[in-house]
Amino acid sequence: MILVFGKTGQVARELQQLGALMALGREEANLSDPQACADAIRHHSPDAVINAAAYTAVDQAEDEEVIATVINGDAPTAMAKVCAELGIPFVHISTDYVFEGTGKDPWQPQDQTAPQNAYGRSKLAGETGIAGSGGTYAILRTSWVVSAHGANFIKTMIRLSETHDVLNIVGDQIGGPTPARDIAVACLQIAEQLVQEPSKSGIYHFSGTPDLSWADFARNIFEQAGKSVTVTPIPTTDYPTPAQRPLNSRMDCTATNRVFGIERPDWITGLKTILDDLEART
């Protein structure tokens, strides 16, 4: 049995739809209480653990870095330590925000980290704790997560298209949109392989292909959804936010493919599935 932390997040929802696992929500194990998370793992004694829960309010984290660090740093560290004690693999989802976000080259797993905001620092704290736990683990860094669930860029664009004919969208941040369903599938495949081959432990990247700007992604969304919206690209400086966003979210996923046989997901196909799911709900 695979134990999943998270029930309502984008990846957690997709994991639950994929099958045989046990998902714990805040009621069963709140990540603001790392000890409760550790106790839950001991209680259920699973074959592997996937942490799909996190503090993801990037801008709000600027004012709540302490609690963000408990949830994104202390709790995953506590989970990883218990997994190490029990001799089971731990799979954890992280982010490209652990990098400084400059340049144009895709980030590689071994590149120097230098988070530029509180959220990135909190996620890096989790990575550091997990890597130092002494157990079998995979940290899967991803970017631009989208799905038919929760709050994400696709759902925001569809909502705005109902009331806007023209939208100004940031055009100088580049990355790979990543469907939550593909992340969920990858996490399960990685967990299963780590059970058999603990030597595959390490940090890996997983993001959708091809890379593009938010503005171009918005154009693709409107085109596939049949929405008549004109997208005007603007620089990040024209859209200030409390937390600094990376201009470069490109990720080198070569190692993930080489070690686990998992290819970068095609977000164009994923987008169609998400839009179909959203339409089916209306």
The per-residue pLDDT for range 101-136, each reduced to its tens digit, is: 999 999 999 999 999 999 999 999 999 999 999 999
Given this model, what pLDDT does residue 67 score?
98
Q: Decide: helix, strand or coil at residue 181.
A: helix
Q: 60-90 b/e with 16+ CB inside 10 Å = b?
A: bbbebbeebbbbbbbbbbbbbbbbbebebbb
Given this model, what pLDDT does residue 281 score?
81
Given this model, what pLDDT does residue 201 score?
98
What confidence category does residue 21 fall into, taking pLDDT thresholds of 50, 70 and 90? confident
What confidence category does residue 244 fall into, taking pLDDT thresholds of 50, 70 and 90? very high
Residue 282 has pLDDT above 80, yes or no: no
Residue 267 has pLDDT above 90, yes or no: yes
Helix (H) or strand (E) holding 175: strand 174-175
Distance CA 124, CA 115 (A): 8
Given this model, what pLDDT does residue 70 score?
98
What confidence category does residue 250 fall into, taking pLDDT thresholds of 50, 70 and 90? very high
Residue 216 has pLDDT above 80, yes or no: yes
What confidence category does residue 280 fall into, taking pLDDT thresholds of 50, 70 and 90? confident
Q: Name the residue range of residue 209's domain.
A: 2-281
Q: Decide: helix, strand or coil at residue 170.
A: strand
Q: What is the DSSP string of 210-279?
A: S-EEHHHHHHHHHHHHT---EEEEE-GGGS--SSPPPSEE-B--HHHHHHH--PPPBHHHHHHHHHHHHH
Mean pLDDT of all residues in 139-143: 98
Does 119 participate in catalysis according to the annotation? yes
Helix (H) or strand (E) holding 168: strand 166-170
Residue 224: CB atoms within 10 Å? 15
Residue 51 has pLDDT above 90, yes or no: yes
Mean pLDDT of all residues in 53-82: 98
What 8-state DSSP symbol labels residue 198?
A: G
Q: What is the CATH number of the domain that holds 173?
A: 3.40.50.720
Distance CA 95, CA 121 (A): 11
Mean pLDDT of all residues in 175-202: 98
What is the residue-averaged pLDDT of the chain?
97
- The answer to pTM > 0.85 is yes
On whether the CB atoms of residues 264 and 209 are closer than 8 A, the answer is: yes
The number of folded domains in the chain is: 1
Given this model, what pLDDT does residue 186 score?
98
Q: 19 versus 234: which is more confidently predicted? A: 234
Active-site pick, 119, 137, 204, 239: 119
Given this model, what pLDDT does residue 129 score?
98
